[in-house]
Amino acid sequence: MVDQAHANQQTLAKLLVVAVAMFGFGYAMVPFYGALCDALGLNSVAKADPVTNTQVDTDRFLTIEFDTNLRNNLPWTFTAVEKSVRIHPGALTHVTFEVRNRSDRPVTGQAIPSFGPQLAGGYFKKLDCFCFTQQTLAPGEIRQMPVAFVVEPGLPKDVNTVTLSYTFFEVEGKTGRDG
């Protein structure tokens, strides 16, 4: 009976060591994952893009269309003030989006951009964007949110229309007091 109790204590100690090691590994993965994404350029949603070519191609026009979406029952309305703009590649462009919190509580959201066609994302350089940070809106608040961007002139000539789509997701567990 004593041997069985001793064996149970050893097994419990081993399980505790494994649990602590797994927790430590998971805790260490957060900064490692962040550094890996930064090194590979996968974590660029939350910061301005570098612009390599600042020449404007006045011989060419592009149409930039804007698409807005909400997920996870986010109680907001979200629209582009202009549904599309016609620009020259290389020209600095400013557009505005409007968001409204329709709920009676503060709500935090994060916007994630995407592009159509997908290859346009490599030429679309956001210099200022509400998507760089989480947005917390008070109950009933309406906010105008700017985006400044450049579409680099190297975008293939057969691409005449680019769709910039933003999808807002509610940041779970956030309230107006949290940020």
130-149 pLDDT tens trace: 999 999 999 999 999 999 99
> Do 59 and 147 fall into the same domain?
yes
Closest listed residue to residue 75, CA positions, set 178, 179, 170: 170
Q: Is residue 177 part of a domain?
A: no
pLDDT at 175 over 50: yes
**Range(s) of the domain holding residue 35:** 2-42
- Domain count for the chain: 2
> Do 10 and 50 fall into the same domain?
no
Q: What stretches of the chain show up as alpha helix (H) in DSSP?
A: 2-40
> Do 76 and 130 fall into the same domain?
yes
> Do 62 and 22 fall into the same domain?
no
Closest listed residue to residue 80, CA positions, set 61, 94, 92: 94
Listed range (36-45, 107-116, 166-175) with the worst mean pLDDT:
36-45
Flag whether the pTM goes above 0.85.
no
